[in-house]
Structures are given as C-alpha cells and as structure tokens.
Structure 1
C-alpha cells in the first residue's frame, strides 16, 4: 500500500460525504475545514503520511485545539476527524484506524431554548399585524409591505411545521399543497417528508403567494430571478438562511419576546405539540429526526416548564 500524504484523500472524502452519505454542502465544508486544521497540526508535529498517524498524535492534536476552543467545538472537530479516518480505513487508504479509540469530550446536557405558548402567540400576532398593516394600494404593495407579508408567512410556517431554516430556504412553490394543507420538505440527506400546517400558516402563505411574491419577481433582474423558490429576498432571488435568522431576531425584538433563532421556533413547535398531547413518534416524523431519543429531549423541556410553573404556584421552600 503506497503511503498517502496527509491531504491526498480529502477531496475524495468530500465527494463521498456529499454523494454517498448525503450530507449538505455546509456540513461537508465544515468537516473539510476541521480535518484540514487537524492535518496541519499533525504536519507541524512531524507527521507526513496518513499511515504514520497514531492515537497519541490525535490526542496531542485534540489537546492543542482544546486550548482555544469550547468543548462543543472540540467535539465537532473530533467527530469530523473520526469520520475521515474511518473512511480511509474502509477504502484501504490505511491499514489501521488511529482515531477509533479517540474519545469525544463529554458535553453538559443543555435543554433546547423554547418560547412559552403565550410568547409564541405574541410573536405570531405581531408579524400577522404587521402584514395586515402593510395593506395595499389599488392592489399593489411596496417592496417593504411585500416583505412584511413574506415575514409573516415565514414565521407562521416555521412555527407550524417545526422545519429547519435550511429546509425553509430550499422550499419551492410546488412543494406546498393547499388542498391538503401540507408541505413537502427536503431534509438532511435529501430525505423528504410531508408535514401538515394549520389555518394561520395557510392564510399567511396565501397572502404572500397571491400577490407580493409576484410583484417582487416582476422587479427582479434576470440574474436574481428565481421562479421556483417559495420565499424570495427583496431582489427576487431565493432567500438565504442568514436573512431568515435576521428577520426572526428582528420580529422577536419588536414582539418583546426572548431573542430566539429559527431553530428555537422548531424547538418551540415540538414542545408545544407534545404539551398538547401529540404522539412522540408523530412529532419525530414531523421534525425529521432519525432517532426518537432526539425528540425525547422535548419531554424534558416540558417537565422543566412544569416545575417552573409549580414553583410559581407553590413558592414555599
């Protein structure tokens, strides 16, 4: 077996992660960056080929990055490196996997951040009121009012379905079925699922699709135009994840609810569904969780909220 230089298999690994594993481009990019950083440090330690790498080398690398990174970052980098060396072993690049016994730092269990049901209602009421106030003049909206109506549709749909922000930005108009009130979502690994949504999300989506979206497209340049995207930016291109995060933060501030991310709306949707008596496996399917244990975290959130309410109602020590 020819000795492989440290970076010789990285491009092939990236292709494998994207084409075979089905990882998203951002995930592949993050893995590649973490692995390259590891290999640079190994080279600085005098390691030149993949066959030379030992568990002691990897522990030294882990100790090095732990000096400047949080445990969560070290855990993520370790997962990437372990995946890379497991790939190299499976593809006969190396004879032994030096990362097989590399331990991942133990992380404290942190419960997902969620809004209370009252806070979620305040947020949805705020964006819906903004959309109503946007109004129209003789059937036409300004760009600003178009975006207010779009924001309401985005927030209502995020909360109604618990979808990830990347899933929302990847949505196309044809993914929405108003007759069944469902949306087809393409999740991690290109896995698809169909999720229902309620009347508030349906009204907000129709208000966006039946006028404002078309107006933005008409003004868009050919370079920006995206006729398929369900949600657009002001220039007519498919909306980006950063834009969605920014609008969620902005509307949370206006609604005077805790500052949250789109992912916190996902957590909130799951928690409120379980609080309302939804079956855990149904919530698992709706969120696209591969493991039921991931969904079970939200039962702990519900218990913690119950404890907090109990403490308020019965404050005696």
Structure 2
C-alpha cells in the first residue's frame, strides 16, 4: 500500500460512521453500477474522503449540510496546497459525480455540485516519438544481451566409507551406492533447474518485445494490454479484443511485426513462464502471474533509456501510434475508434501534434520560414 493510500485509509477511518458508510456505498456504485476500473474508483474515493474530511472540519456533522460553499472551500484549499490545474479539474469532477449520486440516492436535498465550476485543465501536447525512434524502441529487446550461463555447481562430496566394525563390507558398499544415487539425483535436479532458469530468462525479452509491439501497433492503454487474455487474440484476422474504460469492448488490428512477436512469445516464451497463477493471461510476469501495468511501465522506460531515447512511457507510445496514423492519412474517426475515445475531442489533440510537427519541419526546411 502506498503512502497516499495509507493516508486516505486513515482519513476514512476518522470520519463519522455514517459518512464512512456513504463512501463505501459510493465506491460500490462506481464499481458495480458504473463499471469503473479499480484505478478510477480509488481516485474518486480518495477525492471524496478528502472532501468529507474538509466538510467535517468546517462543522458539517451530517451529509445533508454539504453545500456549494463547502465544495468551493475544499477546492480552494487544494489549490493553496499546490494542486495542479489538472488535479483540481479531476477533483471537481469527483465532487460533482458524488453530489449527483447522493442526490439521486436521497442523501442530499439538492445536487449542490451541479453549479461547481472547475479550472480548465491545461492540456499539454503529448510526447511523441519519431517513427524511427518508435521502431528502435520496439526492436530493443531483440538486441538484449542474453543472460550468462550459471556457473557450474561443485560435484557433491562422496560419502566416507562406514568404518563401524559391526557393518560388513557389503553394507558399506550399499551405503556408497546409495550415496552415488543421491549425488546423481542432485545433479539431475540441478540440471533441470538450470534449464528452467535459462528458459525463463530467455522468455523475458520475448515478452518485452511483444509488449512493446502491441503498445505501438495498436495504441492500447497499458492496462488494456496487461488485461489481454490468450483468447483475445484473433491470429487469423490479426485483431485483438480490448476491454477499455467503462468495460467498453472494441477490436483493434495489429500488423505483421506484432504477429511475429506474438507467435514467438506463445511458442517459446509464455510456456517457459506459465504457472499456477497464470490463468489465461497473455502477458506474464517473471513469477508467472499476469503482467502488472507498473512493471510494464518500467519495461518501456528501461528500454527507452537503453536505446538512448527520450524518457518514454506506455502512454507516449499510444500518443506516437495515434500521431503516426494521422500523419499517414488515417481518418480521425477511425483513430478515435482504435484508441477507444468516447469523445472525438479527446482524439483531436493529435491533430494539434501533427500541426506542430509540420510547423517545426517548415521552420527547419523552408528558406523563408
């Protein structure tokens, strides 16, 4: 549990029992009814606990006393503590979502959050790799140095002959034979273990390659890539089935390089890492469980650094995929569908990226720029 999670839990426990129950009911509503992801539920709950803690400090002993002035005071306090505009916008959205739900549930006499304004989040242009940089990144695992062979194990020491006079020569020979059998068993087990370790070590670059290929080829979110099951891959049509935000399902195509990486991973990589915790997960961690998004972010960042590229995250690969699609002539609506954006406005930022890159090329190349 992170420090922020521990802080939220402590504030939650300090709330009056009725407010604690309200927080739990709202979290269940987000998860079960709205089908929000665990990450979204955690963010909304964190904001709500902070809001209710502020309300209690202002003297609101009952939820019905929550009004617009308390919401505004809470946001103002967040701003004075250094919260970014994007964080303030998200927290305002959390407050409005909670207020609307509480009003529908009869916990608030009015939807006090409906009139809550929030600062417009400043949207910075996303980091976008050049096409050659993206190719260098996805091909980086193929250039990874294979692990060195483990040092040979020392042969087990022979058991000394039994010198007890009550044991005859035949018994001593039996003991020596048993010791030799034990040594052979140890050697065989060590050989099997070493082979297993080597196979697992060789599987990791294959896993990394297919992760990078899928992130760039499809533009999926890192949580969507890590949530893929083996059955979500349609090899014949080269399409993956993705479950995005809100549980929305979409089909996303991928290309020949990603198909080759998938084939190699499923043939030689995944069987070496599969274990009792693997289930149907497509991408596995080193211990056999489903690959964690945090680990996936570390993989992307590590290979980018090793390749001498700018600091890169999985979301940067998503940005790069969208931008390269638009620069290659793809329709904006098609890119919206591929990325799983519910609104076209979310996709239009990539047209701004393309224009900025066009301006940069113009300034660099045109004699009268």
TM-score (norm 1): 0.91
Q: CA RMSD in A?
A: 2.3
1:13 aligned to which of 16, 22, 26: 26
Cα deviation, residue 22, structure 1: 1.4
Distance of 2:95 and 2:73 partners within structure 1: 13
Cα deviation, residue 139, structure 1: 12
Counterpart of 1:276?
Answer: 328
Query: Structure 2 vs 1, CA of residues 316 and 141 (structure 1 numbering), >3 Å: closer, same or farther?
Result: farther
8 Å CA contact 2:30–2:36 kept in 1: the answer is yes
Q: Following superposition of structure 1 onto structure 2, how do residues 58-97 of structure 1 map, counting pairs within 5 Å?
A: 58-68=71-81, 69-97=83-111
Counterpart of 1:202?
Answer: 259
Distance of 2:144 and 2:255 partners within structure 1: 20
1:38 aligned to which of 38, 51, 57: 51
Distance of 1:29 and 1:107 partners within structure 2: 21
Q: Following superposition of structure 1 onto structure 2, how do residues 225-236 of structure 1 map, counting pairs within 5 Å?
A: 225-236=277-288
- 1:235 partner SS: coil
Distance of 2:279 and 2:108 partners within structure 1: 48
Distance of 1:189 and 1:108 partners within structure 2: 25
Counterpart of 2:185?
Answer: none
- 1:99 partner SS: helix
Verify: 1:300 aligned to 2:352, yes or no: yes
> Radius of gyration: which is bigger?
2
Distance of 1:163 and 1:273 partners within structure 2: 13
Cα deviation, residue 141, structure 1: 4.9
Cα deviation, residue 6, structure 1: 3.7
Verify: 1:313 aligned to 2:368, yes or no: no
Counterpart of 1:290?
Answer: 342
Cα deviation, residue 5, structure 1: 4.6
8 Å CA contact 1:6–1:48 kept in 2: the answer is no
The higher-RCO structure (CA 8 Å, 6+ apart) is 1
Counterpart of 1:24?
Answer: 37
Q: In the TM superposition, what whole-angstrom CA distance separates every residue of 1:210-269 from its partner, at most 9, and x where no partner exists? A: 01110112xx4x4xx213000000010001010000000000011111111101101100
Distance of 1:101 and 1:157 partners within structure 2: 42
Larger CA deviation: 68-77 vs 37-46: 68-77
Verify: 1:110 aligned to 2:141, yes or no: no
- 1:29 partner SS: helix
Distance of 2:202 and 2:310 partners within structure 1: 25
Q: Following superposition of structure 1 onto structure 2, how do residues 97-246 of structure 1 map, counting pairs within 5 Å?
A: 97-130=111-144, 141-217=198-274, 220=275, 222=276, 225-246=277-298
Cα deviation, residue 123, structure 1: 1.2
Q: In the TM superposition, what whole-angstrom CA distance separates every residue of 1:38-63 from its partner, at most 9, and x where no partner exists? A: 10011011111121112112111111
Cα deviation, residue 307, structure 1: 0.7
Larger CA deviation: 191-200 vs 4-13: 4-13
Distance of 2:196 and 2:259 partners within structure 1: 20
Gaps (5+ residues) in structure 2?
1-16, 150-193
Distance of 2:349 and 2:202 partners within structure 1: 38
1:54 aligned to which of 49, 53, 67: 67
Larger CA deviation: 267-276 vs 19-28: 19-28
Cα deviation, residue 9, structure 1: 2.0
TM-score (norm 2): 0.79
8 Å CA contact 2:301–2:313 kept in 1: the answer is yes
- 1:301 partner SS: helix
